[in-house]
């Protein structure tokens, strides 16, 4: 798997001496040797290149361990933490373990998501609950349990989607859950501000990841959407990771409660 191409911009050590927890750090397994890296793995590896120690958390022990190995290959410290981000006890335990083993916690990135259902008629209540649990409950739990564990001056980044800006998919649960993240991140920013903890939302568009390729194979309209992107191509996970590491760094020290859209101009047309 071609997991670790160089990111488009040379790392500048923007996260030196920071401890970062990436929830959803694994990449969906693929039989394609040319499969791209997923967002969570790219974020973890780029954070390491920027100087951070990284806790790689995922529900899959194997994918979390694979990401941790790539982080160590960058010369950075890495640990693996396994847990279900939608379960309150496990979410709390993952965050507490990451803080304990890293000797502190300066940043949390929440990179989880799924889409189920096709229109209102073909979205079951069970589909709705599953998507809401992963896309909205998990970020809520990470914020609830993560904010008290973060060091003063820390940062949190949630991963949204341009589907939260408009009805961009056939899944009402996916679109609704991603839209709700805009409200959640503003609230986290408000509560974190007295301790100078910033919270922001990265909003990717059509990104070439293993999960994105599965979605494209299942929905032809997603591939047609590529033609509407002003920059004329899909984005890469590395470009999402660049936005995330910027928002975690001191270069974004006066940015909180905001959303940074990474979509090649798709939402602007």
CATH code: domain of residue 145: 3.40.50.720
- Average pLDDT of the chain, as a whole number: 91
What confidence tens digit (pLDDT) does each residue in 163-182 have?
A: 888 887 888 889 999 999 99
Q: How far apart are CA 94 and CA 90, in angstroms?
A: 6
Residue 24 has a pLDDT of 97
Cα R_g (the chain), whole angstroms: 17
Percent of the chain with pLDDT over 70: 91
Lowest mean pLDDT among 8-12, 78-82, 167-171, 197-201: 8-12
The single residue of 140, 145, 174, 246 carrying the catalytic annotation is 174
Among 42, 40, 48, CA closest to 2: 42
- Quick one: pLDDT band at residue 1, thresholds 50, 70, 90? very low
- Residue 104 makes CB contacts below 8 A (sequence gap 6+) with 19, 151
- Measured in degrees and rounded to the nearest 5, phi and psi for residue 250 equal -70, -15
CB of 116 within 8 A of CB of 130?
Answer: yes
198-213 average pLDDT score? 89
* Helix extents (H) in 8-117: 39-49, 61-73, 88-102
- 55 vs 69: CA distance, rounded Å: 11
Give pLDDT tens digits for 39-72. 999 999 999 999 999 999 999 999 999 999 999 9
Can 174 be counted among the known catalytic residues?
A: yes
Give domain status of residue 146, yes or no: yes
CB 22 within 8 A of CB 40: yes
Question: How many domains does one find in the chain?
Answer: 1
First to last CA, the chain: 34
Tell me whether residue 174 is in a domain: yes
In a domain, 6, yes or no: no
pLDDT of residue 269: 85
| Unique residue bearing structure tokens 């008629």 | 121
What is the reported pLDDT for 23? 98
Per-residue model confidence as pLDDT tens digits over 180-189: 999 999 999 9
63-87 pLDDT, tens digit each: 999 999 999 999 999 999 999 999 9
Helices (H) and strands (E) in the chain, counts: 9, 9
Output the DSSP codes for 89-147: HHHHHHHHHHHHHHTS--EEEE-------BTTTB--HHHHHHHHIIIIIHHHHHHHHHG
* 133: containing domain: 19-262
216 pLDDT higher than 70: no
For the whole model, what pTM was predicted?
0.91
- Residue with more model confidence, 212 or 15: 15
């Amino acid at each position: 798997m071609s997991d670790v191409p160089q990111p488009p911009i040379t790392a500048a050590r923007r996260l030196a001496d920071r401890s970062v927890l990436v929830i959803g750090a694994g990449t969906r397994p693929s039989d394609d040797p040319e499969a791209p890296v997923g967002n969570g793995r790219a974020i973890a590896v780029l954070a390491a290149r920027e100087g951070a120690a990284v806790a790689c958390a995922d529900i899959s022990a194997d994918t979390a361990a694979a990401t941790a190995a790539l982080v160590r290959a960058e010369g950075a410290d890495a640990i693996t933490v396994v847990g279900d981000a939608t379960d309150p006890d496990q979410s709390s335990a993952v965050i507490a373990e990451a803080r304990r083993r890293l000797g502190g916690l300066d940043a949390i990135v929440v990179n989880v998501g799924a889409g189920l259902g096709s229109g209102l008629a073909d979205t079951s209540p069970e589909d709705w609950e599953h998507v809401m649990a992963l896309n909205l409950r998990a970020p809520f739990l990470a914020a609830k349990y993560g904010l008290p564990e973060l060091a003063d001056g820390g940062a949190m980044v949630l991963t949204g989607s341009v589907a939260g800006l408009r009805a961009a998919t056939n899944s009402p649960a996916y679109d609704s859950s991603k839209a709700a993240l805009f409200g959640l991140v503003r609230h986290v920013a408000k509560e974190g501000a007295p301790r100078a903890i910033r919270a922001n939302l990265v909003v990717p568009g059509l990104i070439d990841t293993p999960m994105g390729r599965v979605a494209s194979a299942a929905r032809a309209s997603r591939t047609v959407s590529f033609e509407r992107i002003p920059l004329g191509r899909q984005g890469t996970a590395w470009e999402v990771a660049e936005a995330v590491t910027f928002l975690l760094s001191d270069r974004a020290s006066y940015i909180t409660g905001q959303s940074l859209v990474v979509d090649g101009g798709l939402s602007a047309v």
